Amino acid sequence: MSRAKLDSIRAAGPAILPSLLQCDFGDLRSEVEQLTAAGARVLHLDVMDGHFVPNLTYGMPIVEGLRRHTNMPLDVHLMISDPMAYAKPMVDAGADLLTFHVEAVQDSVDVAGQIRDLGVGVGVAINPDTDFAKLDDCLDAVDMVLVMSVNAGFGGQSFNPVALDRLKSLKQRKPDLLLEIDGGIKVDTIGAAREAGCDLFVVGSAIFGQHDYETAINELTLAMNGSHPGAGGQT
């Protein structure tokens, strides 16, 4: 199994990744077609188990369904208590990058190595309230760090600016490491995240809550580049 899709994810950055949690699962083909036409280059899937986080979302069949409709890389965020129980099935279903939570495992280096052995990219995620030092051991073992700007699995949270400090620190320590942010990414927050060194921006309602996906992505892209009137900068 090739890790070529990881290279295409790297090449896409800086990139906006639509989070499919809010898409119309009754018409995946149409959603993928609209996102492709709007300029999306990577798709993000949030997998929740009802245990590590209180919500329950989709599993391998949705990943398989998406893979039938697109060749875009699939970035799968495992918000689950036992990521290795689902890692291989997710890869078999079509995932190209698997991200586990540092809070969910005892040995992050071992888990990262097992995922890498499956032939896909490997990422590690960290919640804003988790001790940042928990990442130290595994930074050399992963391709990407997902810095959460809200606590995983809970809706209605405000963007936590601690994520910006973490992005800056990671960019200084590991300039070649892919950096991703998830949670509250909108026109008024994406610019600051980009300035902090982020490469990949997971976006949900700011795309799927809009009538026109292309317009939404274009506005986010302008804000990411600091040229949108509603874009926020770092404070």
- Which amino acids are annotated as binding site for substrate, given as ranges? 19, 77, 153-156, 182-184, 204-205
Within 10 angstroms of residue 178's Cβ, the number of other Cβ atoms is 21
To the query of whether residue 46 is one of the catalytic residues in this protein, the response is: yes
Beta strands in 56-210 (DSSP E): 74-79, 97-101, 121-126, 144-148, 178-182, 200-203
E strand or H helix at 77: strand 74-79
To the query of whether residue 137 is one of the catalytic residues in this protein, the response is: no
What does DSSP assign to residue 138? G
Closest CA to 79 of 96, 99, 60: 99
- The active-site residue out of 75, 96, 143, 182 is 182
Retrieve residue 194's tokens: 């980009």
- Bind-site residues for a divalent metal cation: 44, 46, 77, 182
Q: Which amino acid is at 110?
A: D
- Bind-site residues: 19, 44, 46, 77, 153-156, 182-184, 204-205
**Catalytic site positions:** 46, 182
